[in-house]
Structure 1
Amino acid sequence: MPSGPSTSGVGRIIAGRYLLLNQLGSGGMGHVWLAHDQRLACEVALKEIVFRDEAEAGHDREARVARARAEARYAAGLRGHPHVVTVHDVLEHEGLPWIVMEYVAGAVDLRDLVARRGPLQPAECARVGLAVLDALTAGHQRGVMHRDVKPANILLAPDRSGSPYGRVLLTDYGISVQPDAGETRYTLTSVLVGTAGYLAPERATGGSPTPAADLFSLGCTLYHAVEGRGPFDRESHFAEITAVVMDEPRPPRRAGALGPVLEAMLVKDPGRRITATQAETALSQLVVSQAEARARTRTDLGSQPPWAQPMPPPPAPVPPPPAAPEGFGPLVTSGGSRRRTRPRALHSALAGLLGLAIAGGGVWYAVAQQPPADGKEGGTAQPYGTRIGLSRPLKDGDCVLADWGDTGAFKGTPRLRLEPGCGSAADGQVLAFVGAASAAEARERGPAACEERTEELRGRLADVRSFAVVPSEAGFVAAGKRTACLVLGVHGPVYGPLGDHREPGSAFSDVSNMQKRDCLDVRSNRSARLMSCAGAHDEEVLGFTRLGADVTLDEARTESDVACGREVPPRDYGFDPSVFTAGSWTSEGPWKAGTHFVVCTVRKQNGGTMEGDQS
């Protein structure tokens, strides 16, 4: 049962002073209420800590209470700053802390504003960016990193002149930290601190919070404001994390003169990222003269500021280790054996492997470079040119091996070989095609169309990326006048067929080709088969989570169930918590690749089978 009220709390009096009027919003830490201060006869905002259930409260209470106190302390240190929501007090009521904050009348957060009004103009985004940058800089000067800059944490409210969005405020210092203060960081080792899609790549890979990381998050936020969506938006949080680390942001279409600033803020290497001072100068120029800014973006590179110069590409990702041997290997579920004769170990094992996939994971949007125009070898036109190297056109369901050579995965164009039977070594599979009237049209439309055609499936997998195999000029007809859309594993093989090419009853040799909402028949702690969800099955895959870089595989096997119960709780998918519980799978693969992802499932508490849709 929830340990804290939500909308039912209207009319409660907190600490004998604050009358709750209505709920303003909810977040990861709890609820924010509009309240009436009966002592000072004014309205304030109260932030309430809420736990989903008593078990969570007992496990996590101390850390979250400490985080709330830290939030109040950090934000209070910035009291009086024009672009930070003022914190007045932190108090305890019925054993839990409440933060008393300034109530900003008429405020709307940037995420909701963009959703209602559409993307902002570049100059307006620059104005918002300047205000938030000013707030962040004030915190950085005190040694405080925000760590969760995102559209939902930026409020826009009427200013004194009556301009409806003239006032810009940064809020929610709930996960802020002073890295050098020797304080306890009130987070769990298995949880990424921040918001997927807005987290700096160095933070996603375990680095320390820095001002440069906050600046990257601000860049993602301004990109969302001007484009209407984030630069790394994907179908799942795990895909977003992978995109942040591995993908370049989508080229902005509406940013205009703001584009070079965003590009400089989103450089993956923090050492080459634009500094706060440089960003302030660039944003100020946009606010002062949008027309002048547009003209500036059309000048030669030599006349642009240093942060606008092309940056060297980030180092190529390290190729994954060789594929795991056939079968799950040391794939074990956490939490001991199941009450049924089919152990839970498989849950853990599957989760771990799938989780690993996710850890790296997300959706990659790579496209094949156009092969040489001749596309011929030995006098015979090759469908995709000599670089790809295939002698026949790809067919639906074909599995392939991808050799990227010395460039590294998803850098350049791989040499492809067919993998007959889609065995455990398969790097990917053909899942769609895009027709074209000419080779030129295939080059122009194929990559983006493949991304769209495979998007739904990629959102259900942990660690895959789209790749368009575009016909060469000479091989266009031989390729059937169409681009083949591959889905490839990011950090290793996909270990077998994907999507609808998997047969019910087929055994998984790895979790990399397990998908969200797959139903499993658990044969042992190392064996699971794909089952129809309409019939009897043991578990259902709900999603993925990632464990910390310092968590060993042995530790993961005891921690993964708890992590899945916290990060992918079955109750969020409609499963009755009195009947169902979280399961998980771990395996060597994710730990060898360094992704440390876990597959999260739901199962019956008594170990019985699930029948059809029991959620």
Structure 2
Amino acid sequence: MSSGAPESGAGRVIAGRYLLLNRLGTGGMGHVWLAHDQRLDCEVALKEIVFRDPGEAARDRSARIARARTEARHAAWLRHHQNVVTVHDVLEHEGLPWIVMEYVPGAIDLRALVARRGPLPPAECARVGLAVLDALTAGHERGIMHRDVKPANILLAPDRTGSPYARVLLTDYGISVQPGGDEPRYTGEHVLVGTSGYLAPERAQGGPPTAAADLFSLGCTLYYGAEGHGPFERDTDLAALTAVVLEEPAPPLRAGALEPLLAAMLTKDPGRRITAAETEAALSAILMPRSRPRTQPDPGSEPPWAIGATETASPGQAAPLPLPPVAPVAPVAPVDESPFPRSTGRHGRKRPRVLLGLLAGVLGAVLAVGGAWYALANLPPVGGGKPYGSAVGLDGPLEDGDCVDAVWPSTPFTGTPGLQRVRCLGNDTDGQVMALFEAGSAQDAAANGHSGCEERTKEIRGRLADVRAYAVLPTEDGFETAGRKVACLVLGASRPVYGPLGEYREMGMRFHTTANMQKQDCLKRISDENARLVACEGPHDQRVLGFARLDPEMTYDRAQAEATGVCRESVKPIDYGYDPSVYESDSWISENDWNTSTHFAVCTVRTQNGGTMEADAV
């Protein structure tokens, strides 16, 4: 070919062993393929290094091959790390380098995920950040700097239970380097290596790669995850590099608890930038907040990103009971430890101690009785006050599993909704309480409630399409009435989810809509419009694998006709271990959901012959 590279395409066999199945993606250095290892009978990913013009091939071939070997070697050193894509081998085929890597079914990179679903909640960004930081730290301990940390190089994939995005993997060590190592460098000393907008300012000015520079890039990546755009995104690469060096990022609008940490990670001076250990502690605090101690430390003794941070009660720690008001009692005289003689009055006359003791005892008894009477007479009524304030309107605390109707003042998820308990599976069921957790005070609840609910509802939200978490926070006056707890709702983002959800569902439940169908649900088809939830341990007709977003401009009839084809391409049964010669894709769409702006198809797998599936189908 005129490009200087052999022709690529599905069906080719690389190195007499790897059968190319289909292309997974394309990057700056080449293509990534899904391939079948014919020797071990398993799926792998192959990274193909491509030269796009003959001049480049002749000039840089040896350097590119050596760089591929370096990438493979660096990643292989970290192959046992749970947050690094495993590299199995590096080989040459027809004069070009190929890297054999772990194939991660169902993976999506962070850039694509945010583009598809919008910015991530702060707690989810913190979870991703901790995983990537752990991978980077493992590399740094071996002297390996990644040098290209960015959203496109972070993969999120299902774990063995099918929970989406549970695995977080750092990939593409293609430009990583060991400063001071014995390996040759394959880029010029004054050539910028990395991605504009994610480079640390010292790297943009020609400084050496360091762990602090990788940390800056991670800060840019987390900013992107929380805000939906990078902190230094500009129209051109040059403008982005200039912004990295000279400009401060715009204050984030969605980052919440992440905001002070992002500022610390994006500090221009690497000497003043937050360290990896401090970043780990800050991310952990966001992910699993602790209760604020009664006695606060001096803010001046804390790092700048920790000022204003809150802590929560240790699990199982009992909260102190409120004390009723009591009448004042006579103070106990302090023990006199002064070395100087104490004055006994203007004339120095002493009163008999026995008489004074008697009078003090009588007075103390009278005051104690009066104080108790006063306290009992003035106790607030039990359950008095609305636990979440007048805007929410509930008279009593929410309990686990309560289904609610939510009425927002204007735009959904803006402001405080009015809530009403309703019957699950009713037409007005907007969501359900999926978690409760104790807070140390109303202030703690306000500070940590939203991130706490994001974390505690993460699993169930990952199994549903088009839902969001919402924290119902107790007010100062209603804190005790609310049981000192924050209630975590899972609500439909654009329509009711009807409930019940998760563990509150019962086998045999009939789905009136696809809104509460969850990943890994096993279904018994009743008709083209209805299905029941059945146990996966027994025979079932279909199993839910995931969701696919459809064109909102489609009519419902067209969406119904095209949904299975979209699922076949985006949620492939083979990626979940189903034999393509036996199983095929299917889909469900609810007309009511579609007409209320929920443009998802529920993607399922079924047998090609229409027979039932068994527990050991995979």
Normalising by structure 1, report the TM-score.
0.51
**Structure 1 CA distance for aligned equivalents of residues 269 and 577 of structure 2:** 52
Aligned-partner SS, 2:560? helix
- Alignment match of 2:606 (pick from 589, 596, 603): 603
1:557 matched to 2:557:
no
**How far off is 1:463 after superposition?**
1.3
Asked whether the 8 Å contact 1:384–1:469 carries over to 2, the reply is: yes
**Structure 1 CA distance for aligned equivalents of residues 421 and 32 of structure 2:** 57
1:394 matched to 2:386:
no
**How far off is 1:437 after superposition?**
3.7
- Alignment match of 1:404 (pick from 396, 404, 408): 408
Counterpart in the other structure of 1:526: 529
- Alignment match of 1:226 (pick from 215, 218, 221): 218
Change (3 A) 1:405 1:558: same
Counterpart in the other structure of 2:231: 264
Asked whether the 8 Å contact 1:584–1:599 carries over to 2, the reply is: yes
Change (3 A) 1:531 1:418: same
**How far off is 1:563 after superposition?**
1.9
**Structure 2 CA distance for aligned equivalents of residues 291 and 552 of structure 1:** 57
Asked whether the 8 Å contact 1:522–1:538 carries over to 2, the reply is: yes
1:474 matched to 2:454:
no
1:442 matched to 2:445:
yes
1:276 matched to 2:268:
no
**Structure 1 CA distance for aligned equivalents of residues 508 and 150 of structure 2:** 57
Change (3 A) 1:547 1:170: farther
What are the Cα deviations for residues 135-167 of structure 1, in whole angstroms up to 9, with x where unaligned?
Answer: xxxxxxxxxxxxxxx964563244897587977
**How far off is 1:498 after superposition?**
0.9
**Structure 2 CA distance for aligned equivalents of residues 597 and 279 of structure 1:** 38
**Structure 2 CA distance for aligned equivalents of residues 509 and 500 of structure 1:** 18
Aligned ranges 1:313-328 → 2 under 5 Å: none
What are the Cα deviations for residues 266-295 of structure 1, in whole angstroms up to 9, with x where unaligned?
Answer: 7xxx89x9952542433899898435889x
Asked whether the 8 Å contact 2:510–2:532 carries over to 1, the reply is: yes
Asked whether the 8 Å contact 1:398–1:429 carries over to 2, the reply is: yes
Please tell me the residue identity of whatever aligns with 2:231. Answer: A
Asked whether the 8 Å contact 2:404–2:429 carries over to 1, the reply is: yes
Aligned-partner SS, 1:118? helix
**How far off is 1:383 after superposition?**
0.7
Asked whether the 8 Å contact 1:156–1:165 carries over to 2, the reply is: no
What are the Cα deviations for residues 444-476 of structure 1, in whole angstroms up to 9, with x where unaligned?
Answer: 333332222211111111111111111111111
**How far off is 1:502 after superposition?**
1.5
What are the Cα deviations for residues 385-413 of structure 1, in whole angstroms up to 9, with x where unaligned?
Answer: 1121111111121111112212x122222
Counterpart in the other structure of 1:156: 175
1:116 matched to 2:135:
yes
Residues matched between the structures, number = 384
Asked whether the 8 Å contact 2:587–2:602 carries over to 1, the reply is: yes
**Structure 2 CA distance for aligned equivalents of residues 434 and 508 of structure 1:** 30
Please tell me the residue identity of whatever aligns with 2:70. Answer: G
Please tell me the residue identity of whatever aligns with 2:398. Answer: L
Aligned ranges 1:285-364 → 2 under 5 Å: 289-291=269-271
Q: Which runs of 5+ in 2 are unaligned?
A: 1-8, 38-47, 85-131, 153-168, 199-212, 250-265, 275-379
Aligned-partner SS, 1:441? helix
Counterpart in the other structure of 1:502: 505
- Alignment match of 2:24 (pick from 9, 12, 28): 28
**Structure 1 CA distance for aligned equivalents of residues 481 and 547 of structure 2:** 41
Counterpart in the other structure of 1:10: 15
- Could you say which structure has the larger radius of gyration? 2
Please tell me the residue identity of whatever aligns with 2:218. Answer: V
Counterpart in the other structure of 1:425: 428
Counterpart in the other structure of 1:384: 388
**How far off is 1:543 after superposition?**
0.7
Counterpart in the other structure of 1:193: none
**How far off is 1:604 after superposition?**
1.1
**Structure 1 CA distance for aligned equivalents of residues 238 and 434 of structure 2:** 40
Aligned-partner SS, 1:610? coil
1:584 matched to 2:587:
yes
**How far off is 1:538 after superposition?**
1.0
Asked whether the 8 Å contact 2:409–2:415 carries over to 1, the reply is: no
Counterpart in the other structure of 1:40: none
Aligned-partner SS, 1:457? helix
1:487 matched to 2:490:
yes
Change (3 A) 1:87 1:51: farther
Change (3 A) 1:541 1:129: closer
Q: Relative contact order: is structure 1 or structure 2 higher (C-alpha 8 Å, sep ≥ 6)?
A: 1
**Structure 2 CA distance for aligned equivalents of residues 524 and 591 of structure 1:** 19
**How far off is 1:520 after superposition?**
0.9
What are the Cα deviations for residues 64-108 of structure 1, in whole angstroms up to 9, with x where unaligned?
Answer: xxxx99x865xx59959xxxx99879xxxxxxxxxx978444135
Please tell me the residue identity of whatever aligns with 1:483. Answer: V
Aligned-partner SS, 1:155? coil
What are the Cα deviations for residues 197-239 of structure 1, in whole angstroms up to 9, with x where unaligned?
Answer: x9xxxxxxxxxxxxxxxxxxxxxx978953598557xxxxxxx
Q: Which runs of 5+ in 1 are unaligned?
A: 13-19, 33-44, 54-67, 90-99, 134-149, 174-197, 199-220, 233-243, 250-261, 295-375
Change (3 A) 1:443 1:581: same
Aligned ranges 1:72-151 → 2 under 5 Å: 73=52, 76=53, 103-107=67-71, 108=74, 112=84, 116-118=135-137, 128=147
What are the Cα deviations for residues 282-337 of structure 1, in whole angstroms up to 9, with x where unaligned?
Answer: 3899898435889xxxxxxxxxxxxxxxxxxxxxxxxxxxxxxxxxxxxxxxxxxx
Please tell me the residue identity of whatever aligns with 1:520. Answer: L
Normalising by structure 2, report the TM-score.
0.51
What are the Cα deviations for residues 570-600 of structure 1, in whole angstroms up to 9, with x where unaligned?
Answer: 1222222222111111233554455532111
**How far off is 1:511 after superposition?**
0.6
**Structure 2 CA distance for aligned equivalents of residues 475 and 518 of structure 1:** 39
**Structure 2 CA distance for aligned equivalents of residues 512 and 521 of structure 1:** 17
The root-mean-square deviation of aligned C-alpha atoms, in Å, is 5.3
Change (3 A) 1:514 1:132: closer
**Structure 2 CA distance for aligned equivalents of residues 446 and 106 of structure 1:** 46
Please tell me the residue identity of whatever aligns with 1:388. Answer: V
**Structure 2 CA distance for aligned equivalents of residues 128 and 380 of structure 1:** 58
Change (3 A) 1:46 1:119: closer
**How far off is 1:518 after superposition?**
0.6
**Structure 2 CA distance for aligned equivalents of residues 284 and 478 of structure 1:** 45
Counterpart in the other structure of 1:331: none
**How far off is 1:509 after superposition?**
1.3
Counting aligned pairs with the same residue, the percent is 36
**Structure 2 CA distance for aligned equivalents of residues 503 and 429 of structure 1:** 15
Counterpart in the other structure of 2:300: none
**How far off is 1:488 after superposition?**
0.9
Change (3 A) 1:231 1:31: closer
What are the Cα deviations for residues 353-406 of structure 1, in whole angstroms up to 9, with x where unaligned?
Answer: xxxxxxxxxxxxxxxxxxxxxxx99x9400111121111111121111112212
Please tell me the residue identity of whatever aligns with 1:444. Answer: A
**Structure 2 CA distance for aligned equivalents of residues 546 and 578 of structure 1:** 26
